[in-house]
């Protein structure tokens, strides 16, 4: 009898152990890398930032059960898993950025600044400074991601509240507006001085235009330039079935990663980037036929990725923990597609983009895969069935990287051991 | 005609009626499935699951299996351009209008959606669709 109880206990412990200690938190990684769950079920975790003491801040897209939208996670016993979780704020959003002791967070209309003390505790959770306000939020592409240059300027994306600037958004055969009026106040990157308060459009500068929706952006410290990843337009086949098949729509247009100089134009909504012809092609809403090329002064991408995979976060790796090839290269999270349907969905991984002397080589590879949680490489046919969808990225003080998931709120920690 | 003949006739007629109505219902759903696959699936996905934060789910959604048929008819016919709350979550993408669908086609696709995946709601008739469209015209002239 006693033996039986022990056996049962042993069995239940081992089942428990197996269920929780999935190798590398279920991820597939290059040789020598390992992953674990730094946190689970913290809510819709979008972008993340980490202090030099290793405290992680996550911006939630909507309030958690306690009504909080900025979550602070600390690993006090240094076992690689957060054990002290607190939070504050009541506005949903995506952007978060740590600049010294100043923590910046964005709603879908504004950017707020909080002060941290020497222990990375927030000093003014209820009374942040409003740095920028009144940014356009018209439902679609509403998130406002933020990054900084080395001179205390904020770069914020203002997504276009439209798919392709049709007179009536997302209608079959609908013509595009000429010129597209959205571009005056959205569909680009705006630059603001982080030391000023209560700024809006008039105080900032449109730094780049023709970007439909950017969620992932980061400053490349080696090149001293802004890099942004754009979500390409949807539904070429739905609205122009005589020009595009389902299979063509699943692969067009490319998701694009740009090196941005002030004044650059990436061409939305007039053109899209075709990664098979390696050309900027005129959008069907503006008289395109899938072949006609757009104006030559439109920016070319540094790297083009397969269509619809939805780049969410960009991180230039400056740590010393990973092998040499990763130094100064960029990691990009891909949320996973929906508009490839009826073909299977793609994405749900973290890509690595190698850089040489501050320039992208044009190559890319999958770095971390398996977030969707499918068995034996099965494909995702409906986006909601992905168990996790990679979103935010941040580098820890030891050179590990962290990846957030906004589905269930996991934070994955990825490290390298020689 | 004696009683037994009348009974036979009534039963026969009833069976014919049942057979025809079951067959039309199956055809409705079959037609609806085709319409769903060509027009709706790309956003609402093969399993009616929608896309988190963007495209509303149809599978298990209380509004979809609910009794406000007019609202469903109007959304399909005229599109939808609002951020919508559904079962505690928000969806932000624009819904494409389908002005060219006939009342019969709208009833077919709604019948398919309301009886697929985990949904077990009643079918929608062409008359209900016609009433829904009329209702919306009245509202729009106000």
Residues of B in contact with A385 (CB under 8 A): 47, 49
Residues of B in contact with A238 (CB under 8 A): 39, 42, 96
Strand order in the sheet with A349-353: A311-316, A330-334, A349-353, A365-368
Name the percent of chain A lying above pLDDT 90.
Answer: 93
Report the DSSP pairing between strands A330-334 and A146-148. unpaired
| Pairwise CA distance, residues A49 & A73, whole Å | 10
Instruction: Please tell me the predicted confidence (pLDDT) of residue B5.
Output: 76
Q: What is the pLDDT of residues A220-273, one digit of tens each?
A: 999 999 999 999 999 999 999 999 999 999 999 999 999 999 999 999 999 999
Measure in Å the smallest separation between the Cα of B122 and chain A Cα atoms.
Answer: 25
| Pairwise CA distance, residues B119 & A404, whole Å | 33
Measure in Å the smallest separation between the Cα of B82 and chain A Cα atoms.
Answer: 7
Measure in Å the smallest separation between the Cα of A93 and chain B Cα atoms.
Answer: 12
| Pairwise CA distance, residues A145 & A108, whole Å | 9
A382 in reach of chain B (CB within 8 A): yes
Instruction: Please tell me the predicted confidence (pLDDT) of residue A21.
Output: 60
Partner-chain contact B41 A407, CB within 8 Å = no
* Six token digits for residue A90: 């009541």
Boundaries of every domain in chain A: 22-416
| Pairwise CA distance, residues A174 & A400, whole Å | 47
Instruction: Please tell me the predicted confidence (pLDDT) of residue B10.
Output: 77
| Pairwise CA distance, residues A18 & A24, whole Å | 12
Residue whose structure tokens are 């951020």: B83
| Pairwise CA distance, residues B35 & B40, whole Å | 7
Residue B84 pLDDT more than 60?
yes
Radius of gyration of chain A (CA): 22
The residues near A270 (Cβ < 8 Å, ≥ 6 apart) are A176, A180, A210, A282, A283, A286, A294, A295, A298
Partner-chain contact B51 A407, CB within 8 Å = no
What part of B 74-113 touches A (C-beta under 8 Å)?
A: 79, 81-83, 90, 92-97
The residues near A401 (Cβ < 8 Å, ≥ 6 apart) are A315, A317, A319, A331, A393, A394, A395, A413, A414
* Six token digits for residue A98: 């740590």
Partner-chain contact B45 A383, CB within 8 Å = yes
Q: What mean pLDDT comes out for the span A138-145?
A: 95
Whether the CB-CB separation of A271 and A298 falls below 8 Å is answered with: yes
Partner-chain contact B51 A338, CB within 8 Å = yes
A115 in reach of chain B (CB within 8 A): no
List beta partners, residue A114. A103
| Pairwise CA distance, residues A370 & A372, whole Å | 5
Q: What mean pLDDT comes out for the span B9-15?
A: 76
What is the phi/psi pair of residue A321, to 5°?
-75, -40
Suggest the residue from A170, A182, A247, A406 to mutate for an interface test with chain B (most B CBs closer than 10 A).
Answer: A170
Residues of A in contact with B92 (CB under 8 A): 139-140, 142
Provide ipTM, 2 decimals: 0.85
> Of B39, B43, B50, which has the smallest distance from its Cβ to A384's Cβ?
B50
| Pairwise CA distance, residues A417 & A403, whole Å | 18
Instruction: Please tell me the predicted confidence (pLDDT) of residue B4.
Output: 74
Distance, C-alpha A165 to centroid of its chain: 23
Q: How many CB atoms lie within 10 A of CB A83?
A: 12
Suggest the residue from A93, A338, A379, A381 to mutate for an interface test with chain B (most B CBs closer than 10 A).
Answer: A338
Topology given in CATH for the domain delimited by B3-141: Cytochrome Bc1 Complex; Chain D, domain 2 (1.10.760)
> Of B42, B57, B94, which has the smallest distance from its Cβ to A339's Cβ?
B42
Q: In the predicted model, what is the mean pLDDT of chain A?
A: 94
A239 → chain B, closest CA residue: B96
Instruction: Please tell me the predicted confidence (pLDDT) of residue B9.
Output: 77
Residue whose structure tokens are 């934060």: B53
B60 in reach of chain A (CB within 8 A): no
B82 → chain A, closest CA residue: A139
Residue B142 pLDDT more than 90?
no
Interface size, chain A vs chain B, as Cβ–Cβ contacts under 8 Å: 68
Across A81-85, A383-387, B132-136, least confident range: B132-136
Q: How many CA atoms are closer than 13 Å to the CA of A307, on its beta-carbon side?
A: 23
Residue B25 pLDDT more than 80?
no
SS3 content of chain A, % helix, strand, coil (to 5): 10, 35, 55
* Six token digits for residue A288: 């395109």
Residue A195 pLDDT more than 90?
yes
Instruction: Please tell me the predicted confidence (pLDDT) of residue B19.
Output: 61
Residue A22 pLDDT more than 50?
yes
Partner-chain contact A384 B90, CB within 8 Å = no
Topology given in CATH for the domain delimited by A22-416: Neuraminidase (2.120.10)
Cis peptide before B13 (omega within 30 of 0): no
Whether the CB-CB separation of B51 and B59 falls below 8 Å is answered with: no
A62 in reach of chain B (CB within 8 A): yes
Partner-chain contact A62 B90, CB within 8 Å = yes
Partner-chain contact B37 A238, CB within 8 Å = no
* Six token digits for residue A155: 């770069």
| Pairwise CA distance, residues A137 & A159, whole Å | 8
Residue A19 pLDDT more than 60?
no
- The SS3 assignment for A56 reads strand
A168 → chain B, closest CA residue: B96
Residues of A in contact with B45 (CB under 8 A): 338, 341, 381-384
Task: Using pLDDT thresholds of 50, 70 and 90, give the confidence band for residue B13.
Answer: confident
Residue A370 pLDDT more than 70?
yes
| Pairwise CA distance, residues A366 & A36, whole Å | 18
A345 → chain B, closest CA residue: B45
Instruction: Please tell me the predicted confidence (pLDDT) of residue A255.
Output: 98
Residue B139 pLDDT more than 50?
no
Residues of A in contact with B54 (CB under 8 A): 338
* Six token digits for residue B79: 């599109």
What is the phi/psi pair of residue B3, to 5°?
-55, -45
Residues of A in contact with B34 (CB under 8 A): none
Which H helix or E strand runs over B13?
helix B3-35
Residue A72 pLDDT more than 50?
yes
DSSP string spanning A250-285?
Answer: HH-S-EEEEEE-TTEE--TTTEEEETTTTEEEE-GG
Partner-chain contact A384 B46, CB within 8 Å = no
Whether the CB-CB separation of A306 and A275 falls below 8 Å is answered with: yes
A384 in reach of chain B (CB within 8 A): yes
Radius of gyration of chain B (CA): 18
Partner-chain contact A142 B92, CB within 8 Å = yes
Partner-chain contact A341 B41, CB within 8 Å = yes
Q: What is the pLDDT of residues A309-355, one digit of tens each?
A: 999 999 999 999 999 999 999 999 999 999 999 999 999 999 999 99
| Pairwise CA distance, residues B90 & B101, whole Å | 27
* Dihedral (Cα; A332, A333, A336, A337), 10-degree rounding: -40
The residues near B108 (Cβ < 8 Å, ≥ 6 apart) are B28, B29, B31, B32, B35
| Pairwise CA distance, residues A347 & A372, whole Å | 9
Task: Using pLDDT thresholds of 50, 70 and 90, give the confidence band for residue A284.
Answer: very high
Task: Using pLDDT thresholds of 50, 70 and 90, give the confidence band for residue A378.
Answer: confident
Q: How many CB atoms lie within 10 A of CB B121?
A: 15
Whether the CB-CB separation of B104 and B126 falls below 8 Å is answered with: yes
Instruction: Please tell me the predicted confidence (pLDDT) of residue A303.
Output: 98
Report the DSSP pairing between strands A303-305 and B89-91. unpaired
DSSP string spanning B46-79?
Answer: TTS--BTTTB---TT-HHHHSS-HHHHHHHHHH-
Report the DSSP pairing between strands A264-265 and A205-209. parallel
Measure in Å the smallest separation between the Cα of A15 and chain B Cα atoms.
Answer: 31
A173 → chain B, closest CA residue: B96
Task: Using pLDDT thresholds of 50, 70 and 90, give the confidence band for residue B110.
Answer: very high
A249 → chain B, closest CA residue: B42
Instruction: Please tell me the predicted confidence (pLDDT) of residue A15.
Output: 47
End-to-end alpha carbon distance in chain A:
48
Boundaries of every domain in chain B: 3-141
Helix-then-strand count for chain A, H and E: 3, 29
Partner-chain contact A383 B41, CB within 8 Å = no
Partner-chain contact B94 A170, CB within 8 Å = yes
Q: What is the pLDDT of residues A27-36, one digit of tens each?
A: 999 999 999 9
- The SS3 assignment for B104 reads helix
Q: What mean pLDDT comes out for the span B40-47?
A: 96
């Amino acid at each position: 009898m006693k033996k039986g109880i022990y056996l049962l206990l042993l069995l239940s412990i081992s089942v428990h152990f197996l269920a929780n200690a999935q190798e590398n938190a279920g991820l597939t990684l290059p040789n020598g890398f390992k992953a674990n769950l730094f946190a689970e079920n913290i809510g819709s975790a979008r972008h993340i930032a980490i202090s030099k003491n290793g405290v992680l801040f996550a911006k939630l897209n909507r309030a958690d059960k306690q009504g909080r939208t900025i979550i602070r996670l600390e690993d006090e016993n240094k076992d690689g898993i957060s054990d002290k979780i607190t939070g504050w704020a009541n506005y949903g959003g995506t952007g978060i950025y740590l600049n010294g002791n100043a923590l910046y967070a964005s709603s879908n209309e504004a950017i707020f600044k909080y002060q941290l003390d020497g222990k990375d505790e927030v000093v003014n959770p209820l009374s942040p400074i409003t740095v920028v306000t009144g940014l356009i939020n018209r439902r679609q592409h509403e998130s406002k991601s933020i990054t900084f240059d080395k001179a205390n300027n904020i770069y914020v994306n203002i997504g276009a509240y439209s798919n392709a600037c049709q007179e009536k958004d997302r209608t079959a055969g609908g013509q595009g507006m000429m010129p597209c009026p959205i571009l005056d106040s959205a569909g680009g990157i705006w630059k603001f001085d982080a030391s000023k308060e209560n700024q809006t459009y008039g105080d900032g500068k449109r730094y780049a235009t023709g970007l439909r929706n950017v969620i992932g952006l980061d400053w490349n410290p080696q090149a001293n330039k802004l890099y942004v990843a754009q979500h390409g337009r949807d539904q070429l086949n739905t609205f122009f079935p005589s020009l595009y098949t389902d299979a063509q729509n699943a692969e067009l247009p490319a998701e694009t990663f740009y090196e941005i100089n002030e004044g650059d134009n990436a061409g939305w909504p007039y053109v899209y980037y075709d990664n098979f012809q390696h050309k900027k092609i005129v959008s069907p809403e503006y008289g395109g036929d899938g072949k006609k090329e757009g104006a030559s002064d439109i920016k070319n991408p540094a790297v083009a990725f397969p269509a619809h995979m939805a780049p969410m976060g960009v991180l230039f790796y400056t740590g010393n923990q990973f092998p040499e090839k990763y130094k100064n290269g960029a990691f990009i999270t891909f949320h996973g597609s929906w508009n490839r349907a009826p073909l299977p969905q793609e994405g749900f991984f973290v890509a690595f983009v190698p850089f040489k002397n501050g320039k992208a080589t044009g190559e890319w590879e999958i770095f971390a895969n398996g977030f969707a949680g499918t068995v034996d490489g099965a494909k995702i046919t409906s986006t909601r069935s992905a168990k996790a969808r990679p979103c935010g990225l941040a580098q820890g003080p030891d050179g590990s990287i962290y990846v957030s998931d906004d589905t269930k709120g996991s934070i994955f920690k990825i490290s390298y051991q020689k | 005609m004696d009683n037994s003949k009348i009974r036979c006739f009534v039963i026969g007629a009833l069976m014919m009626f049942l057979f025809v109505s079951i067959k039309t219902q199956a055809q409705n759903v079959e037609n609806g499935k085709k319409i769903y696959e060509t027009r709706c699936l790309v956003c609402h996905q093969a399993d009616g699951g929608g896309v988190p934060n963007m495209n509303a789910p149809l599978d298990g959604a209380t509004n979809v299996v609910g009794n406000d048929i007019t609202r469903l008819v109007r959304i399909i016919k005229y599109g939808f351009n609002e951020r919508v709350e559904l079962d505690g979550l928000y969806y932000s993408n624009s819904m494409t209008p389908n002005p060219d669908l006939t009342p019969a086609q709208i009833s077919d696709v709604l019948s398919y959606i309301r009886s697929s995946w985990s949904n077990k709601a009643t079918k929608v008739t062409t008359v209900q669709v016609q009433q829904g469209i009329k209702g919306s015209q009245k509202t729009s002239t106000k």
